Structure 1
Amino acid sequence: MEMRHLTSFIALAEELHFGRAAKRVGIVQPALSQHLRQLEEEVGVRLVERDKRRVALTPAGQAFLTHARRSLAEARRGAEAAQRAGRGLVGKLSIGCMGAVGMALLPAVLRTFRTTHPGVQLSMREMGSLEQFQALREGRLDVGLIRAPVEAVDYPVEVVTSSPLMMVVPAGHFLARMQDGVRLEQFAGEDFAVLSRRSEPRMYVQFEQLCLERGFQPRITYEVDQMHLMLELVASGLAVSTAPAFIRGVARPEVSLLPLVDPAMTVTAGLTWDPAAPPSPAREAFLATVREMGRSLSANLMTIRQYIGKAADI
C-alpha cells in the first residue's frame, strides 16, 4: 500500500469528483483511477461507487477513510521528524567540559544553541581532559571542551580560544587591589588550591614548574577536580589559585582576579570529538556554535591580552 494511493483516495473522498481530485494531487485523471483500482485490489473491497452521474464512498470506503487520513498524517509527521533530525534540530548530545572552559563558554553556547535547536536534549558533565578522552573512547561523550594542547591523543583537538592566566585571591587579600598585575612569586608561602594531578596532569606539572622558575616551591594544600570547588576555597579565604580569565564573568564577588605579569601566561581552550562516531547533524551544529562563541570570547578577552602584554602559552 503506497502513500500516493492513500493521497489519491483521500482527495477523491473529499472532492467526490475524479477530475477535481486528480488536479488537486497534481496527476492526470487516468492515473488517479489507476491508483484507486490498485488500492481496492490491495484492500480487497470496493471503496468507491462511481457511475456517469456520481461518485460516492461505499461503507467500506467510509471506514477506510478515517484510517487513511490517520496513516497519511502520521507518515507526514514522520517525514518532518526525519527532516528535523537531518538538520540537527532533534537528538541527544552528551557534553563534557573542563571547569574553567565550561564556565566561560557554556552559558553563551547554550543560550545560542537552545534558541536554534530547542529539540536537542543536552546532558553535561564537568570532567577533566583525560577523563573526557576516556569517555569519548567508551562512547559516553559526543563533544568535549578541554584545555589544549594535549599530547598523544587519538582525537582531534581544535583550538577555540585562549585566555590570560590570572591569580585568584580572596577579595580581602592584601594584594587584591593590585589590578595593574602581580607576580607569581609574590604568593610564595601561601596555600594554593589547584586542579588535581589526576584530572589535569599537564597543567599541574606546568604550574609547579612555573613556580620553581620564579624561585619557590608552591605549597599545594588543596587538590580539586572541579573549578567551582577551587573558587569556593578561595572565596572562603583558605587558599589562592590561578585560573584563566575565562572565569571573569562567572567568578564570585568574594574573589578577585588579578593579571599575572613577569611572566605573562595564557591558557588555551580546545574542542574535541570522535570523528569516527556515527554522523550527527546535532553534534555538528553544536560544534559550529562552540566555534562561533569561541571567536566572540576571544574578541572580548583581547583587551586583557593587550593590557598585560605578550603572553606565553602554558
Structure 2
Amino acid sequence: MLDSRIKLRHLSCFLEVSAQRSFGQAAGRLGLSQPAVSKAIAELEEILGGSLLQRSRAGVFLTPAGEAFRRYAETGMAALREGFASIGQTARGEGGFLAIGALPTVATRLVPAALLHAKRPGQGGQENQGLNATIRVLTGPNDYLLGLLNGGQLDIVVGRLSEPKLMQGLSFEPLYTDEIVFVVRPQHPLIQALARSGARSLTLHDIAAYTVLFPMPGAIIRPDVERLMLGQGVTGFADVIETVSPSFGRRYTRISDAVWIISRGVVADDLEQAMLAALPLRIDRPTGAVGMTTRADRPASPALNRLRDALRHMAEDLR
C-alpha cells in the first residue's frame, strides 16, 4: 500500500537529484534551497527505510535501492504529468498527442481504418467531436516497438501477441486472429501449373525450386513458419531472401517468381485487388492473435481510449 507520507515534493527532489547527481544543481533547477532538498531526501529515505543516495567527491550516486525506486518514481511522475496535461487539453478543447506502434500486420489496413473511424465526429455534444490529437505512427519489429512502449515513447502497440518475456508489465487485448500465407504474383508458374493439371493444392516441397522471401530472425511469425516447415518435413529452402520489409516483399514478389511467406493482414489488400495470389497449400496455416498492447501501469488518456474503441470496432469485420 502507498505510504500517505510520501509527497510529490519528495519524488520531485529525489528524481532531480538523481538526474543532476548534485543536491546543489537539483535545488537550483527546482527553485528550492539546498537544505530543503536535503531534508526532502532524508524524509523520503526515512519513510522507505533505506538509503537511496550516496554522496562522494565525484558527486551523488544512486544506491541499488535508489536505482530500483527511481524507475517506479519516474513512471509515477510521468503518469501524473500526462494526467495533468490531459485535463488541461480537455479544458482548452485540444486533443493532445498519441504515439502508435504498428506492426506490418496491421499498418496497411486496421490502423488506418481505425484512425479514420476515430477522427470521424459522432452525434451529440463536444465530447463526440472525434479524435483530434496529434498522431504519430511508427512501424518496425515487434521487440523494437515493445521496447519503445516500455520506455514511454509509445502509447500503444498494435500487432501480434509477443512472447511472454517481452510482455512483462504490459497488457494485451486480442482483437482477431491472423494467418500466415504463401503469396506469389498471379501469373506465377505454380498457379499456371495448378490450372493446367486441375489439382487443388500444393505442398511445401513444390515451392522449393523458387526463391523464398522468409521472415528474418526475430520476426514474430518466424517461429511459426519454422514449426510449420518441420511438421511438413522441410528443413530449409535453397534460395532464401530474409526480409521484414512489406514494401520490398510486395515489389520483389510482383516482378519475380519468388514465394513470399507473410501474415495475411500485410497483403490483404493485394489479395483482394488480385495484385498477389495466395498459394493453396495442403497445410494447417498457423494463426496468431492480433491485438492492442499497452502499459499495464499507465492510465489511458481520452485520445487513447477513443483509438482503442475504434480498433475494436474495425476489427469486428476481421474476426
Deviation at 1:107, TM superposition (A): 2.5
Does residue 222 of structure 1 match 2:241?
yes
Does residue 186 of structure 1 match 2:201?
no
- Is the contact made by 2:228 and 2:286 (CA closer than 8 Å) also made in structure 1? no
Structure 1 unaligned blocks of 5 or more: 1-78, 299-314
TM-score by length of 2: 0.60
TM-score by length of 1: 0.61
- Is the contact made by 2:161 and 2:172 (CA closer than 8 Å) also made in structure 1? yes
| CA distance in 2: counterparts of 1:162 and 1:279, whole angstroms | 24
| CA distance in 2: counterparts of 1:259 and 1:279, whole angstroms | 43
- Write out per-residue CA displacement over residues 74-128 of structure 1, whole angstroms, 9 at most, x where no aligned residue: xxxxx9952476xxx7111111111122223123212201214241111111111
Q: 2:191 aligns with which of 171, 176, 182?
A: 176
Query: Cα–Cα, structure 1 residues 260 and 165, in superposed 2: closer, same or farther, change >3 Å?
Result: farther
SS of the residue aligned with 1:156?
strand
| CA distance in 1: counterparts of 2:222 and 2:174, whole angstroms | 20
Report how many aligned residue pairs link the two structures.
216
Does residue 127 of structure 1 match 2:148?
no
Q: 1:243 aligns with which of 258, 262, 265?
A: 262
What RMSD in Å do the two structures reach over aligned CA positions? 2.8
Write the mapping of 1:66-215 to structure 2, written as runs, cut at 5 A.
82-83=90-91, 90-116=95-121, 117-152=130-165, 153-154=167-168, 155-176=170-191, 180-198=200-218, 200=219, 202-215=220-233
Deviation at 1:169, TM superposition (A): 0.9
- Is the contact made by 1:244 and 1:267 (CA closer than 8 Å) also made in structure 2? no
Whichever residue aligns with residue 100 of structure 1, its letter is: T
Query: Cα–Cα, structure 1 residues 124 and 196, in superposed 2: closer, same or farther, change >3 Å?
Result: same
Query: Cα–Cα, structure 1 residues 259 and 94, in superposed 2: closer, same or farther, change >3 Å?
Result: farther
SS of the residue aligned with 1:268?
strand
Larger Rg: 1
- Write out per-residue CA displacement over residues 179-211 of structure 1, whole angstroms, 9 at most, x where no aligned residue: 95543332124221123213x1x5223312311
State which drifts further: 98-107 or 246-255: 246-255
Deviation at 1:253, TM superposition (A): 4.8
Write the mapping of 1:216-295 to structure 2, written as runs, cut at 5 A.
216-219=234-237, 221-237=240-256, 239-246=258-265, 247-251=267-271, 253-295=274-316
Percent identity of paired positions between Structure 1 and Structure 2: 20
Structure 2 unaligned blocks of 5 or more: 1-86, 122-129
| CA distance in 1: counterparts of 2:119 and 2:305, whole angstroms | 14
- Is the contact made by 1:166 and 1:259 (CA closer than 8 Å) also made in structure 2? no
